[in-house]
Amino acid sequence: MSKAEKTKQFIIEKTATLFNTKGYNATSLSDITQATGLTKGSIYGNFENKDQVAIEVYKYNAGLLSKIMSHSLGDQYPTSTDKLHAFIAFYRKNWRAVFSNGGCPLMNAATEADDSFPALKQYVQKSFTLWTEKISAVITQGKKDNELKTSVNADEYASLFIMLIEGGILLSKTMDNELFLNQALDKVKDMIDHELTILPS
């Protein structure tokens, strides 16, 4: 990496939690300079404006989440059911870390993207689309392997899983109680075990 690229990455990493916690609109240039220890000139020497910093930070935060999701749904788990259960287990084990970093970066950005930061919307849409596709691919493979019911709609269930989990995160973070996230995860697990999985005859 060149010096300029290293500085740019430094700014992104130093402000990742800041943007996710305070908000992409509410985070000011002064907040960025305070978090990085750099001058306004240094920030604008690497980014066109604050919105560009926010978008790059979102892409960074979403990328970190994507890597974790890919690991949970990865080949180290032998069956599709194992992969889906690992996906649930990630949230059960790591909800404190997710909350302490401001919550899910996709959901946080989504609440701002529509109304007051339309430039961010396309990136949020892409993130949710990729997330849905990853889960859907696991379900589709399970159907091919005669592990999951062939009648289920993979895309529909993938979307339902995301809606339940994101809603659980939102309520748990708002109410400062992990109960709601656990209820959502329990529901997702029930759907996997009783609506998707082919039960032994």
What CATH topology corresponds to 52-196?
Tetracycline Repressor; domain 2 (1.10.357)
For the chain, the average pLDDT equals 90
Long-range CB pairs of 88-95, under 8 A, 24+ apart, other chains included: 88/185, 88/188, 88/189, 88/192, 91/165, 91/169, 91/181, 91/185, 92/182, 92/185, 95/169, 95/172, 95/178, 95/181
Mean pLDDT in residue range 52-70: 89
- Return the residue matching tokens 């697990």: 189
Query: How far apart, in whole angstroms, are the C-alpha atoms of residue 140 and residue 17?
Result: 35
Around Cβ 65, how many Cβ atoms within 10 Å? Answer: 15
pLDDT digits (tens, 9 = 90+) for 66-77: 888 788 888 889
CA 50 to each of CA 2, 11, 56, 64, 84: distance values in angstroms, whole numbers, following the listed order: 22, 11, 10, 21, 38
> For residue 141, what are its two tokens?
């493979």
Q: Does 201 score more than 70 pLDDT?
A: no
At residue 116, the pLDDT reads: 76
The structural domains of the chain, with segments of one domain joined by +, span 52-196
Of the ranges 30-34, 89-93, 98-102, which one carries the lowest mean pLDDT score?
98-102
pLDDT digits (tens, 9 = 90+) for 139-186: 999 999 999 999 999 999 999 999 999 899 889 888 988 899 999 999
At residue 145, the pLDDT reads: 95
